[in-house]
Each structure stands twice: as C-alpha cells, then as structure tokens.
C-alpha cells in the first residue's frame, strides 16, 4: 500500500496538526517508493526473492560463530546454516543482537501498544483516506494505517 501522506491530528477534535506527503513525494525526493505492508506480506515478498535453502523460517537462533567472511548460525533444533548475511528478526531477547552488541537487559519503558487488524471491507464505508493517520494526545497516541486495500487496516493505540 502506498499511503499518500502521514497525517497527525489532535486527539480531541481531529484537527490536522501536520501533513507530510509520501507516495509520489518519496519517489521524487528519494528515488524510491514508500510502502506500508503487513509483516506477513513482507515476509512473503522476501521469501519469494531468495532460494528456499537460504531462508530459515520458524527456527530459533541460539548462537552465531564468525568464520572469516561467513557466519555459522546454530539453531535450537541442532541444525546449522552457513551464511554471508544474517537478518535479525528474533525479537526483544535477540541472540543475534547479543552476539553483535553483547548482553543487554531489556527493561519495561512503561509504554504499552495495543494493535489489531480489521478487514478493510468492515471499514470501507467510513471513507478513510489512504494515509498513515495518527491522533496525538497528552498521554496517548492512536493510529490507522491501510496495509492492503482489499485485505486489512491496522489500528492501534
């Protein structure tokens, strides 16, 4: 989905505070499009672009060993993989991040996000503009982002 703009609104009356053009403006200014997509869709696109033998989904990384210009990745199952590049997508308790940066102790920031997906058909009658909309208040921010016109709209606070 190519949102036309990022729009920031006041939480109490919906008045627009700021509007930043995206879509065509990003292509013109940076030479590349700006997209919103659901994580599963991004994973589908990435996995279709590489041979299946180099992508290891549903594997928990438990260790990395640098071997010259290559990396051996060790998985919980006992399997290993040899790679030139390791893409970290293993969450807050990241084995990959720890191997690169050393141990860290994540701490709760006091902030919580609630997110959900709504089928686009359920909100189509609302006439929601294809933009990244957010409503900012003193202590809370809410958002609506169109992810795929025929599939889902992401909402959260």
Confirm whether 2 is a catalytic residue: no
Q: Which residue has the tokens 């609630």?
A: 114
Residue 59 sits at the vertex; the CA angle it makes with 115 and 49, to the nearest 5 degrees, is: 80
Picking from 120, 154, 130, 152, the residue whose alpha carbon sits closest to that of residue 5 is 130
DSSP code, position 32? S
Query: Which listed residue (19, 115, 138, 151) is catalytic?
Result: 115
Phi, psi for 90 (deg, rounded to 5): -115, 20
Catalytic residues: 115
């Amino acid at each position: 989905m190519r949102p036309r703009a990022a729009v920031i609104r006041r939480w109490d009356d919906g008045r627009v505070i700021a509007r930043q053009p995206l879509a065509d403006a990003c292509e013109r200014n940076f030479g590349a499009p700006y997209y919103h997509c659901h994580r599963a869709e991004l994973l589908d696109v990435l996995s279709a672009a590489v041979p299946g033998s180099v992508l290891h989904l549903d594997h928990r990384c438990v260790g990395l060993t640098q071997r010259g210009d290559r990396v051996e990745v060790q998985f919980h199952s006992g399997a290993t993989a040899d790679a030139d590049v390791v893409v970290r997508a293993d969450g807050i308790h990241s084995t990959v991040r720890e191997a690169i940066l050393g141990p860290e102790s994540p701490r709760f920031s006091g902030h919580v996000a609630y997110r959900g997906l709504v089928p686009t058909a359920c909100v189509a009658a609302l006439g929601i503009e294809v933009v990244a909309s957010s409503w900012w208040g003193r202590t809370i921010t809410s958002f609506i982002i169109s992810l795929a016109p025929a599939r889902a709209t992401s909402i959260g606070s």
